[in-house]
Amino acid sequence: MTSMTTAELERQQAEMGFDDGASHLLEVSMGPQHPSTHGVFRMDVVLDGERIVKLKPVFGYLHRNHEKIAESETYLGSMPYTDRLDYLCSLTNNWGYALAVERLAGITVPERAEYLRVIVAELTRLQNHACLIGFLLQDMGASGTPLMYAFRERETILDLFESLTGARMMCNYLRFGGCRVDATPEWLRQAQQAVEAFPKFLDEYEQLLTGNEILVARTQGVGLLPKDMAVQAGITGPTLRASGINYDVRKVDGYGIYDRFAFRVPLGEHGDVFDRYMIRLLEMRESIAILRQALREIPAGPVQDARTKLRGFRPKPGEAYARIESPKGELGFYLVSDGSANPYRYRVRPPSLINLTVLEEMCLGRNVADVVVTLGSIDIVMGEVDR
């Protein structure tokens, strides 16, 4: 199936000065089973030799109408479904949804639960960024080693998630007004250990990769995203900050208790793939700073607001929009209630999808191999793109 008609292709060829009647442009469908496309993502690419002339992303291979499902679920029933949006970061997805419901119903969260949320969210960010760098290097052809090193570190964090929430990836841990179970002192000690061991891994990773001439040659100046285009296209998260825009929802909204922690927002300068790679490394170091503070200061107390019912939850009619800084970008949840037990409208603002808006502009004129690297540096998960 092609997205371009023959007439369009011929017209484009004529525009480019090929008028000898022979076809010079080649239309290639990259995906949906391409190993480097992070799941079932397809790009209709028009090539002039190796050069990209046109690139149209095609979505929907993993579409399951998450939003429609949520309309027939109770508010609680949608919580496990949010795990499956960005399946690498289920805990931040939980938080986004819980925050939206809490804004909708005016629920307060106990202190200890806020700290636990920060801890699990920052651990999620650590493992997501570690994975992303592994995948990015995998896309670049460094098959195996960097990804396996990242997975080794991710494993310790997933073990922490499993012993706290019961599941490694589909955690379903947060509840409206708190968290499902409390963390034991033993768990907090293990988390502390994992956090203290992490900078060593980052140093090792930097030693392995950052100075590597092949990595530098493949990433610097590739996939440029200028500042104004990034803002205009609603790019969020590390991809935006790599272009030099200081916009982190943790700082801007200060949701939860993020305004209590001292951390910096790393910014890029050029907006190329290398900056996006470095931003992730630097953000992991900032996450470690947040985790250290949170693990030191976590107070005792309940982890669940006692007034919030688990079953039969019916918020009054109205609406609320809440957003958080997920590892991929700004994850928003928009809820409209009509007073019944099911949300009237439930909307996810998927950062992965919207960060793909200007993929074409970032790739035009580059080689096919650069498309793969650029896509890898944006950090998408198809579960969230297609919902």
Partner 1 sequence: MLGKGIVLGLAETARNFFGSFFYRARLTTVQFPEERLPQIEAARNFPFLVFDGADWQQGMRCVACQICEKECPPKCILIEKSKDKKPDATGKPQFYPAVFNIDVSVCMSCQICVEVCPFDAIKMDVDFELSTYDRFGGLLWDKQRLSKSNEHYHQIHPTEAAAVDAALAAEREKLAAKARAANAPPANAAPSTSAPATAEGQA
Partner 2 sequence: MSPERSANMDVEMVRAALAAAVPGCQVEIIANSRPAAQHSLLVDAEHAVAIAEFLRDDAALRLDYCSNVTGIDWPMKDGGGYLEAVYHLYSMEKKHGPLVLRLRTLDRVAAVHLPSLAPVWRSAELQEREIFDLFGIQFDGHPDLRRLLMWEGFAGHPMRRDYVEPDDYEYEPTAHETVLQKAQQHQREAER
CA distance 45 to 17: 19
Q: Is 47 in the site for partner 1 (CB under 8 A)?
A: no
Residues in the chain: 387
User: Nearest CA to 82 among 67, 61, 71, 60?
Assistant: 67
Please select the residue that binds partner 1; options are 159, 196, 259, 297, rule is CB under 8 A.
Answer: 159
Q: Is 166 in the site for partner 1 (CB under 8 A)?
A: yes
Distance of CA 121 to the CA centre of its chain: 12
CA distance 129 to 303: 28
- The helix/strand/coil state of 56 is strand
Q: Phi/psi class of residue 119: alpha, beta or left (left: φ > 0; alpha: ψ in -120 to 50)?
A: alpha
**Are 29 and 9 contacting, i.e. CB atoms less than 8 angstroms apart?**
no
Q: Is 185 in the site for partner 1 (CB under 8 A)?
A: no
Stretch 201-240: interaction string toward partner 1, x if CB under 8 A: ---x--xxxxxxxxxx------------------------
Interacting positions 82-141 with partner 1 (CB under 8 A): 83-84
Stretch 56-75: interaction string toward partner 1, x if CB under 8 A: -----------------xx-
- Interacting partner of 354 out of partner 1, partner 2, none (Cβ under 5 to 8 A depending on kind): partner 2
- Interacting partner of 213 out of partner 2, partner 1, none (Cβ under 5 to 8 A depending on kind): partner 1
**Are 310 and 76 contacting, i.e. CB atoms less than 8 angstroms apart?**
yes
Closer Cβ to partner 1, 183 or 324, answer by number: 183
171: CB partners within 8 A, 6+ apart: 83, 90, 91, 94, 120, 161, 165
For 229, phi and psi rounded to 5 degrees? -65, -40
Closer Cβ to partner 1, 64 or 264, answer by number: 64
Please select the residue that binds partner 1; options are 25, 45, 55, 81, rule is CB under 8 A.
Answer: 81
Closer Cβ to partner 1, 315 or 351, answer by number: 315
Q: Which stretch binds partner 1 (CB under 8 A): 3-11, 158-166, 244-252, 369-377?
A: 158-166
50: CB partners within 8 A, 6+ apart: 367, 368
Q: Write out the residues near partner 2 by the rule CB under 8 A.
A: 59-60, 63, 65, 67-68, 103-106, 229, 231-235, 245, 247, 251-255, 259, 315-323, 330, 332, 334, 336-337, 344-345, 347, 349, 353-354, 356-358, 386-387
- Interacting partner of 318 out of partner 1, partner 2, none (Cβ under 5 to 8 A depending on kind): partner 2
Amino acid at 230: A
Closest approach, Cβ 12 to partner 1, in A, equals 40
According to DSSP, the residues that pair with 27 across neighbouring strands are: 46
Instruction: Tell me the two tokens of residue 245.
Output: 């825009």
Interface positions with partner 1 (CB under 8 A)? 73-74, 76-81, 83-84, 145, 149, 152, 155, 159, 162-167, 170, 172, 180-181, 204, 207-216, 310-311
